[in-house]
Chain A
């Protein structure tokens, strides 16, 4: 497989992530879709790293993995406090703030 095949896969993954965030109502699933977007970017970075023959892209990926982990930690904490207060993980239940 060539570099551009990886790129196509990455782009498809990214679009799946975007559509998932837009359409799923469960916050945890939305969150997983965001992770999918990040990983699509990672895939793209790694294959580009291969294309250019330098390590910048791979280093980037390590950093992104760390950031994703941190995001998970904070995101789950926010969700837990939501569940405690409201007993729901449906994104449509959070619309107190509007207009």
Chain B
């Protein structure tokens, strides 16, 4: 039984090849490739990767239980004995789910982009550049999820960050877009800093117990040695709980989680994600909903062997996730930009995933990650179709009644809405149940019942704001001007086809791997060994829960009740009695204002962090330190001194006269002779 599998490298290779071909073309050729070539290369690469992924994941499921992983070792990247890091890939159940999502949803979004970017003529070579970036993103994301050690993962991690920046600012000619790209990049740097610290800390810790490694399998095997290692915190941190002795793993995991917060837009680093909506809509769907932002969740699950030994860190993860979920959901209630609503919804759903991961229900987190990828991609692509039809209008106050002009978009969008709202027997329903069940069953987690309550409440809020969005866009009478409304058209086939596929997946993907309870109820338990939970157990450790089936059904019913209540409320307000909305808004004006202004978080950050930093940077660091001390005295002073020595002194030894050279040579030779002969007898 060998676990070597050289086919794995093909999966990231296809997008990389596309990037190289397309990139060289853009570098050296004038003009862009023909449209057909761009489509063939740009869409062909992820589709090929997807096919290879399917085949390899199928091979993976045929391996023996407990032994399900493939390794593909390309070469030794860094060798400094005894430490060495390989550039190698690991395909196990966890990365299997991820690559299927990345390449599968990715391929659909690539295809969608053909239709979406078609009418974009802001730049000659924009079409090709767009696909180049998308392919580069796919490559980086695959490196991230397939890397079998923290270093390769980090390379992918930074790569996706770069692509995110490039794509948010894709229409860089407008200042606003470029600024949004920068904001995303800078906020992510804060997270990356934590992630790096975490990597260093872990590496140092493993080295100190005699196994210097960053490779996941080896770390997982040796993590037991670190379980009782303690560190002493500096006195400045005395306000922290359990001061001064912390478990090393807790500290390391918290550092890693800071990285996850940045990438996956959790409190307090979530502010970049809503602004990232400045990018083209397919980008929002691919990067800022389905794949990149879930990298943090993936990382926590990948490191589950460490997190599960650090209860303090796990509790932090769960609470940050839960609070983010409800916090973002409340903001989403009032937003008027169609993409902003979806963005806050994404933040909220990511919070759900962390809630599950923090409750040590890692398989639930990944399950929700997968279903969310499908329905959120669907929602974003649907929104993109609406934006196309409305000629780049995004304000839902100027929409309404689109149901009659965009029949297909309306239908597919509705599938997504119902799935995320948690309507029974759509995929969102099952994954959300798993998450809530995880929180409910996590007895070791402080305040787990409160978290469960937050989760259920968020489910209700989610149902409400999603239905509100749907009604405001598609139902009722239009609020657009007649000219605009009459020009609205259904999108082309490139756009609708991916929508249909994603809608089908949003509705029915759970059939591939229903949770234990439902598998048993609906299929008589025969499929238990096929459930995702079971599949993932090998890669991401999950605590078994002791909740009886009756309780589980009860919990599901409760969550469904809240979801239905949210749906009912939204239907009442926005479908049956739309005139009540304004009156109600006036009644709760202060609350509404807080939510509408997103709790003024951006403004607070600006006042507390950005402005002081800019002031110090401008006046102290730049003017004083950089310009005066370093530039004028340090760099230019040294340079002037060196040039002075050369220009006034050394240069004149180089007279151009052969014999003067010979004299200097002779002096040198005599020097060498004298030096060597000093020991002679």
Shortest CB-to-CB span from A24 to chain B, Å, is 9
Give how many B residues have a beta carbon under 8 Å from the other chain's beta carbons: 10
How far apart sit A22 and B659, CA to CA, in the bound complex (Å)?
6
For residues 644 through 671 of chain B, which have their beta carbon under 8 Å from a beta carbon of chain A?
651, 654-659, 662-663, 666
Interface residues on A, range: 10 to 19
User: Quick one: CB contact mask for A30-54 with B, threshold 8 Å, 1 for yes?
Assistant: 0000000000000000000000000
User: Is A95 among interface residues, defined by CB-CB distance under 8 A?
Assistant: yes
Determine if A98 and B656 form an interchain contact, defined as CB atoms under 8 angstroms apart. yes
How far apart sit A99 and B655, CA to CA, in the bound complex (Å)?
6
Determine if A98 and B662 form an interchain contact, defined as CB atoms under 8 angstroms apart. no
A21 and chain B: residue at smallest CB distance: B662
B651 contacts across to A, CB distance below 8 A: 99
Determine if A99 and B656 form an interchain contact, defined as CB atoms under 8 angstroms apart. yes
User: Is A92 among interface residues, defined by CB-CB distance under 8 A?
Assistant: yes
User: Is A61 among interface residues, defined by CB-CB distance under 8 A?
Assistant: no
B666 contacts across to A, CB distance below 8 A: 18, 22
B655 contacts across to A, CB distance below 8 A: 95, 98
Shortest CB-to-CB span from A19 to chain B, Å, is 10
B656 contacts across to A, CB distance below 8 A: 95-99
B658 contacts across to A, CB distance below 8 A: 91, 94
B659 contacts across to A, CB distance below 8 A: 21-23, 91-92
For residues 78 through 99 of chain A, which have their beta carbon under 8 Å from a beta carbon of chain B?
91-92, 94-99
How far apart sit A98 and B653, CA to CA, in the bound complex (Å)?
9
User: Quick one: CB contact mask for B600-633 with A, threshold 8 Å, 1 for yes?
Assistant: 0000000000000000000000000000000000
How far apart sit A21 and B663, CA to CA, in the bound complex (Å)?
10
Shortest CB-to-CB span from B662 to chain A, Å, is 6
Which of A21, A23, A91, A98 is in CB contact (< 8 Å) with B654?
A: A98
Known: A18-B666, A22-B662, A22-B663. A99 touches B657 (CB 8 A): no
Question: Which of B654, B658, B666 lies at the interface centre, i.e. has the most chain A CB atoms within 10 A of its CB?
Answer: B658
A94 contacts across to B, CB distance below 8 A: 658
B652 and chain A: residue at smallest CB distance: A99
B657 contacts across to A, CB distance below 8 A: 91-92, 95, 98
User: Quick one: CB contact mask for B307-350 with A, threshold 8 Å, 1 for yes?
Assistant: 00000000000000000000000000000000000000000000
A94 and chain B: residue at smallest CB distance: B658
How far apart sit A67 and B662, CA to CA, in the bound complex (Å)?
22
A92 and chain B: residue at smallest CB distance: B657
A23 contacts across to B, CB distance below 8 A: 659
B662 contacts across to A, CB distance below 8 A: 21-22
B663 contacts across to A, CB distance below 8 A: 22
How far apart sit A21 and B659, CA to CA, in the bound complex (Å)?
8
Shortest CB-to-CB span from B629 to chain A, Å, is 34
How far apart sit A97 and B655, CA to CA, in the bound complex (Å)?
8
B646 and chain A: residue at smallest CB distance: A99
B654 contacts across to A, CB distance below 8 A: 98-99
How far apart sit A95 and B662, CA to CA, in the bound complex (Å)?
14
Shortest CB-to-CB span from A9 to chain B, Å, is 20
How far apart sit A95 and B656, CA to CA, in the bound complex (Å)?
5
How far apart sit A97 and B654, CA to CA, in the bound complex (Å)?
9
A22 contacts across to B, CB distance below 8 A: 659, 662-663, 666
How far apart sit A99 and B663, CA to CA, in the bound complex (Å)?
17
How far apart sit A97 and B666, CA to CA, in the bound complex (Å)?
21
A18 contacts across to B, CB distance below 8 A: 666
Shortest CB-to-CB span from B333 to chain A, Å, is 76
Shortest CB-to-CB span from A7 to chain B, Å, is 16
How far apart sit A98 and B657, CA to CA, in the bound complex (Å)?
8
How far apart sit A91 and B666, CA to CA, in the bound complex (Å)?
18
Shortest CB-to-CB span from B673 to chain A, Å, is 13
How far apart sit A89 and B618, CA to CA, in the bound complex (Å)?
65
How far apart sit A97 and B662, CA to CA, in the bound complex (Å)?
16
Shortest CB-to-CB span from A27 to chain B, Å, is 9
For residues 1 through 31 of chain A, which have their beta carbon under 8 Å from a beta carbon of chain B?
18, 21-23
Shortest CB-to-CB span from B186 to chain A, Å, is 48
A91 contacts across to B, CB distance below 8 A: 657-659
How far apart sit A40 and B655, CA to CA, in the bound complex (Å)?
30
How far apart sit A99 and B666, CA to CA, in the bound complex (Å)?
20
Shortest CB-to-CB span from B80 to chain A, Å, is 45
How far apart sit A92 and B658, CA to CA, in the bound complex (Å)?
8
How far apart sit A95 and B660, CA to CA, in the bound complex (Å)?
11
How far apart sit A65 and B659, CA to CA, in the bound complex (Å)?
25
User: Quick one: CB contact mask for B231-249 with A, threshold 8 Å, 1 for yes?
Assistant: 0000000000000000000
Shortest CB-to-CB span from B446 to chain A, Å, is 77
Shortest CB-to-CB span from A10 to chain B, Å, is 17
How far apart sit A18 and B662, CA to CA, in the bound complex (Å)?
9
A97 contacts across to B, CB distance below 8 A: 656
How far apart sit A23 and B657, CA to CA, in the bound complex (Å)?
12
How far apart sit A21 and B661, CA to CA, in the bound complex (Å)?
11
A21 contacts across to B, CB distance below 8 A: 659, 662
How far apart sit A91 and B656, CA to CA, in the bound complex (Å)?
10
How far apart sit A97 and B659, CA to CA, in the bound complex (Å)?
14
Shortest CB-to-CB span from A89 to chain B, Å, is 13
How far apart sit A18 and B663, CA to CA, in the bound complex (Å)?
10
Shortest CB-to-CB span from A34 to chain B, Å, is 11
How far apart sit A91 and B662, CA to CA, in the bound complex (Å)?
12
How far apart sit A96 and B655, CA to CA, in the bound complex (Å)?
10
A95 contacts across to B, CB distance below 8 A: 655-657
Shortest CB-to-CB span from A97 to chain B, Å, is 6
How far apart sit A92 and B657, CA to CA, in the bound complex (Å)?
6
A98 contacts across to B, CB distance below 8 A: 654-657
Question: Which of A22, A94, A96, A97 lies at the interface centre, i.e. has the most chain B CB atoms within 10 A of its CB?
Answer: A22
How far apart sit A96 and B657, CA to CA, in the bound complex (Å)?
9
Shortest CB-to-CB span from B82 to chain A, Å, is 51
Shortest CB-to-CB span from B663 to chain A, Å, is 6
Shortest CB-to-CB span from B24 to chain A, Å, is 41
A97 and chain B: residue at smallest CB distance: B656
B659 and chain A: residue at smallest CB distance: A22
How far apart sit A39 and B645, CA to CA, in the bound complex (Å)?
42
How far apart sit A75 and B659, CA to CA, in the bound complex (Å)?
17
How far apart sit A18 and B669, CA to CA, in the bound complex (Å)?
12
B654 and chain A: residue at smallest CB distance: A99
How far apart sit A91 and B659, CA to CA, in the bound complex (Å)?
8
Shortest CB-to-CB span from B279 to chain A, Å, is 56
A92 contacts across to B, CB distance below 8 A: 657, 659
How far apart sit A98 and B660, CA to CA, in the bound complex (Å)?
12
A98 and chain B: residue at smallest CB distance: B656
The 7 closest A-B CB pairs, nearest first, are A98-B656, A95-B656, A99-B651, A99-B654, A95-B657, A91-B658, A22-B662
What are 18 A-B contacts defined by CB distance under 8 Å? Answer: A21-B659, A21-B662, A22-B659, A22-B662, A22-B663, A23-B659, A91-B659, A95-B656, A95-B657, A96-B656, A97-B656, A98-B654, A98-B655, A98-B656, A98-B657, A99-B651, A99-B654, A99-B656
Q: Told that A18-B666, A92-B657 touch, could you supply 19 new A-B pairs with CB distance under 8 A?
A: A21-B659, A21-B662, A22-B659, A22-B662, A22-B663, A22-B666, A23-B659, A91-B657, A91-B658, A92-B659, A95-B656, A96-B656, A97-B656, A98-B654, A98-B655, A98-B656, A98-B657, A99-B651, A99-B656
